[in-house]
């Protein structure tokens, strides 16, 4: 034997990060909600409301770009390749390709366009419905994929964004 490693054996089970993913998802969803509350709060100076609306629009645009890119990539890999792992990937429901349109809606919200709130609401509610479908699939019959940590992250984030856009729409 030329070399003997002196490091500990790797753990048998992967780390359990579902709670951490859930915490980050709740924090992100809460951030969306708090920014919407700030953007619609009565009795708050106009500058603060505008700042919260701009921050919410930019964060929504970034979120939509990231989730839409992931979803578009997953769809491409599913349709255009023979990569076995990508076929029937349920994470496509957590990151739908149409989320990329939130880039446009988020930037329009930054500039105060009313149509953008309605468009964002439709996009976000559709994404939330897709995430709920992924959760139901996980609880039901399609348990071939270990994506619990991604469900724990994306479902509360989409829920928080849906609540935020709903609050903006009621304003």
For residue 25, the surrounding DSSP H or E stretch is helix 18-40
The reported pLDDT for the residue numbered 67 is: 97
Does the pLDDT value for residue 9 go beyond 90?
no
pLDDT tens digits, residue range 40-76? 998 889 999 999 999 999 999 999 999 999 999 999 9
In this prediction the pTM is: 0.88
Does the pLDDT value for residue 143 go beyond 70?
no
Report the pLDDT averaged over residues 2-7.
88
Does the pLDDT value for residue 141 go beyond 80?
no
Does the pLDDT value for residue 86 go beyond 70?
yes
Contacts of 102 (CB under 8 A, 6+ apart): 60, 61, 63, 64, 65, 67, 68, 120, 123, 124
Residue 31 to residue 40: CA distance in whole angstroms = 14
Residue 142: pLDDT band with limits 50, 70, 90: low
pLDDT tens digits, residue range 99-126? 999 999 999 999 999 999 999 999 999 9
Residue 171 to residue 165: CA distance in whole angstroms = 10
Beta strands in 64-152 (DSSP E): none
Residue of higher predicted confidence among 161 and 145: 161
């Amino acid at each position: 034997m030329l070399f003997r490693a002196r490091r500990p054996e790797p753990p048998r089970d992967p780390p359990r990060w579902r709670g951490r993913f859930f915490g980050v998802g709740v924090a992100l969803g809460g951030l969306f909600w708090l920014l919407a509350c700030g953007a619609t709060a009565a009795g708050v100076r106009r500058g603060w409301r505008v700042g919260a609306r701009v921050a919410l629009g930019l964060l929504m645009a970034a979120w939509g770009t990231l989730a839409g890119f992931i979803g578009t990539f997953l769809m491409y890999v599913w349709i255009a390749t023979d990569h076995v792992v990508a076929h029937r990937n349920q994470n496509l429901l957590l990151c739908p390709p149409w989320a990329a349109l939130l880039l446009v809606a988020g930037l329009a919200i930054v500039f105060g366009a009313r149509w953008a709130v309605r468009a964002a609401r439709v996009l976000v509610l559709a994404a939330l419905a897709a995430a709920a479908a992924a959760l139901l699939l996980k609880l039901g019959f399609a348990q071939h994929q270990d994506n619990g940590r991604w469900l724990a992250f994306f479902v509360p984030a989409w829920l928080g964004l849906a609540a935020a856009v709903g609050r903006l729409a009621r304003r």
